[in-house]
Amino acid sequence: MNRPSKTPLTAAVVTSLLCAGLLAAPAAAQPPTEPPTPAAGSWTVQAPPVSGVERLSAEVALDENGAPTLSVSAGDRVVLPPSPIGIVTDGADLSTGLRLIDRAERSVTESYTMTTGKNTQRHAVMREATLSFAGAGDAELDLVVRVAPDGVAYRYELPDRDGTTVVTGETSSWQLPNDAPAWLLPYTSWYEEPRAQTTAGAAATGSYGHPALFDVGGMYVLLTESGLSSAYPGAYLDTTAGTGRYAIGLVEEQVVADGELDTPWRTAIVGDLATVTESTLVDDLAPPSQVEDTSWIRPGRVAWSWLPEHSSPRDFERQKDYVDYAAAHGWPYTLVDEGWSDAWVPELVRYARAKGVEILLWYRWTDVDTQEEMDAEFSRIAVWGVKGVKLDFMNTGAPTHGESAARHAWYEQVLRETAEHRLLVNFHGSTIPKGLQRTWPHLMSYEAVRGAEYYSFAGDPRVTPSYNTMLPFTRNVAGSMDYTPMTFGQTSRSSSDGHELGLSVAFETGLLHLAEMPEVLATRPEAERYLDQVPTVWDETSLVSGAPGDHAVIARRAGERWFVGGIVGGAGREVEVPLDFTGGGRWLVETVTDDGSGGLVRTATTLTARQTLTVPVVENGGFAAVLCRATDGRTTCDEPVHTVPASTLVIEPGEAVVRPGDSVTVSATFTLDEGDPVRRVTMTPVPPAGWVADGDPQRRPRLAAGEPLTGTWTFTAAEDTASGFVDLPVVVEFDQNPATTRRRVHVEQAVRALVPPPAPSGVVPVSDLAFIAETNGWGPVERDASNGEADGGDGAPLTIGGTQYASGLGVHAVSGITIYLGGACDRFTAQVGVDDEVGDQGTVTFNVSGDGDDLAGTDVITGSAGATAMDVDVSGVELLTLEVGDGGDGINFDHADWADATLGCT
């Protein structure tokens, strides 16, 4: 539908603007056959006044050719001189030949609550002007300008003329003085290049990513974007050396949208360094929250194993070590990264939740890039009890660009679906924050930074302490940043332990992934003690001091305590920390610093808000401090670390075979092993989809340690229940102590039930049978094809030693496939080996087991060997399992084939 034209300026309005000097006299009327002559003029929008802050203003002007520009001033000083703006569509060039046809102005005042970020309670006050222009052929353009005390933003609104809007580019730009110091990173769609200092004019010709920081004579300018919608692609900054002009470039040549189109906000955060660092303008400009109930959204610290030991996410027992550590230290989460198996994740979730720890899971974004995949996968893991997902590699995926409109549509879609399933989200290999954390408050963090993981990539020398000091003033201004600090055991880093500990406060993120092994953290008790206290939700943030590339000292308040993180790049020094950010009073200050010999030491002192804390910092060092009100007898700011008491839930039977329509009786006994009594205890059966459970839940208002709670239920499978393994859970939940924790503890155990398919008969290719269970090291198991790559159906014909096989299974180590035989088969045969698609690379082992007992296996087989024959007696076997190991040297190139895999059955 076409939008009605804007109401033209009335004679009274024109006279008023002329008298005010805001509009030049109109040109004489033109013949109807010629377009109206553009009228030069300028229009100013001022920020609401704030005491002690230079008032910002934006001026939009049209030159004699009707070409618009925008400039930004602070008081009487021009910070950003006039820069061309405008947009071009397939039907009109709306960057020239414009004339003003209407103007509207209003105040925008919003109060909202965040779950993450620099402060949870936000209050935004902005002045907004909408300037409506007409161009050649009466093409319309609304330019919306907002000016806040901490910055200026503008966007274009295009009406729907013919059902489709096609943008072919913007002329939007920012003009900087050539000599303005600049902190820039070369543009990539994953924003992981190192940031470096240069000047606006000396920067090499090319493209640079948002956010970009400039120092204009002591007034800082941070350029970025906000309010990006699924209708528009991402943008970068294009510059030509020596010009100081940074033009908006789009990652797609055309933007096609149905109906009206609103572009993202082109945003300049402007002020002193504290104003820029503390700004929430990116969130203030974004659409409001789409999630009404946020009670389930809980940021927190995360134990994470991948960085210090890349193979650990494949190891169930090792993941339990990280869960145990998180539980002992009161950390709410453990992230299981690439390599986890659905064969054991449900058990790990149950193990963790009984200890008060929730599990987060890693996904490659292509695993959930369709609506069907999202529905299936998020439903599945929500049933397991998983609390969040880390989605990775959105920067890849040709033919679309990692910041294309289609990719941004996926960001919104996946956030909508995860909100439905109450799953927290962490984006990796991603774009930068552009306000979505306000719109979708379960979005905890983004990567979009060259973070600590690069220490493990052959010791990347470009992640330096000096580089780290740039991030609070650049990348982290835009939104939460998943840098993953605490890499104490990474020998390639040049930062001190105090620097690493300071990052826990200097950097903000909703999920603080602590990237170290439990055994290494245990050797640094002062770091452990501090990390057990540091929050990830903040009521207030204040820049204490800093200079990009040199040092940063950030103070953040949570409740009545202040936490301070200081980091330094370069020479050691004494860092002064004025305590006026506390607002007044006497404070107990506990500071953890490097002891000068590779360790950490804690000191305590009492100071007033008018005094200054002096901290000695070693080369490339840092510190972390916590402040609390000084009262008589108070010796520490530490608060109790809340852990969950040990408990036991026994469920019988442990395993069962249940055919469709049949039932199994399940009994459970719960005992609190230690600690104070717990309250509001419930024991409940949780039947999976397609099952019913008969029997009432068991409840106790209070349960003391050693006192049993028991229950019995009958689970019945539907007549059309699908074959395979299914868990039949019984769940106990209780309040540990309402005075110390608001969360309920979840303890769960399950009967492992098998719904068997019909037993096979005759001579059967294994690839024709349903799998009861399967795991695979890379991508899915392929039937009658090699493993190929990560996607299903991407394998080639099974080929070993030059011989091609028509049937079989293509897998990747480490792999396991379970098939139901029901005792009906007596022989399994196959030709096994490394598929020719990896050449002479790869080393694997093959093993056949029946009902848990090993029946046959091979030595290590290499890619240069041919096929090995296997002929195995499987008489009486109910469940046959085919396993492939990695040969002891990792899983690279371990593409393995079970070629001509056949069962002989009666």
H/E stretch holding 731: strand 724-735
Residues whose CB is less than 8 angstroms from the CB of residue 327 and which lie 6 or more positions away in sequence, other chains included: 352, 355, 356, 357, 643, 644
Per DSSP, the three-state class of 490 is coil
Q: Under a CB-based contact definition with an 8 Å cutoff, are residues 901 and 808 in contact?
A: yes
Cα 314–Cα 500–Cα 478 angle in degrees, nearest 5: 85
* Catalytic-labelled residue, pool 170, 284, 453, 497: 453
Per DSSP, the three-state class of 63 is coil
Closest CA to 393 of 337, 315, 436, 442: 337
Name the pairing type of β-strands 151-158 and 261-262: antiparallel
Q: Give the single-character DSSP code of 109.
A: E
Cα 124–Cα 129–Cα 133 angle in degrees, nearest 5: 150
Closest CA to 878 of 655, 693, 729: 655
Q: Where are the beta strands (DSSP E) in 12-54?
A: 41-46
CA 653, CA 771: separation in Å to the nearest integer?
A: 24
CA 759, CA 525: separation in Å to the nearest integer?
A: 57
H/E stretch holding 30: none
Amino acid at 100: L
H/E stretch holding 605: strand 600-608
Is 417 labeled as catalytic in the residue annotation?
Answer: no
The dihedral formed by the CA atoms of 472, 473, 477 and 480, expressed in degrees to the nearest 10: -20
Residues whose CB is less than 8 angstroms from the CB of residue 126 and which lie 6 or more positions away in sequence, other chains included: 47, 48, 107, 108, 109, 146, 147, 148, 284
Residues whose CB is less than 8 angstroms from the CB of residue 847 and which lie 6 or more positions away in sequence, other chains included: 854, 856, 857, 858, 882, 883, 884, 885
* Catalytic-labelled residue, pool 140, 150, 215, 392: 392
What value does the CA radius of gyration of the chain take, rounded to a whole number of Å?
Answer: 31
Q: Under a CB-based contact definition with an 8 Å cutoff, are residues 498 and 624 in contact?
A: yes
DSSP notation for 635-691: -----PPP-PPPEEEEEE-SEEE--TT-EEEEEEEEEE-SSS-EEEEEEEE-PPTTE
Q: Per the structure block, which two tokens stand in for 399? A: 């033919």
H/E stretch holding 323: helix 316-328
Name the pairing type of β-strands 235-239 and 245-250: antiparallel
Residues whose CB is less than 8 angstroms from the CB of residue 604 and which lie 6 or more positions away in sequence, other chains included: 588, 589, 590, 591, 635, 636
CA 125, CA 147: separation in Å to the nearest integer?
A: 9
Scored b (16 or more CB within 10 A) or e, 750-779 reads: bbebbbbbeebeeebbbbebebbbbbbbbb
* Residue 335 Cα distances to 342, 425, 793, angstroms: 14, 12, 29
Q: Per the structure block, which two tokens stand in for 742? A: 């608001």
Q: Is 858 exposed, middle or buried (0-12, 13-18, 19+ CB in 10 A)?
A: middle
Q: Under a CB-based contact definition with an 8 Å cutoff, are residues 56 and 46 in contact?
A: yes
Is 347 labeled as catalytic in the residue annotation?
Answer: no
CA 246, CA 71: separation in Å to the nearest integer?
A: 14
Amino acid at 320: K
Residue 461: how many other CB atoms lie within 10 Å: 12
CA 509, CA 666: separation in Å to the nearest integer?
A: 43
Catalytic residues, by residue number, are 392, 453
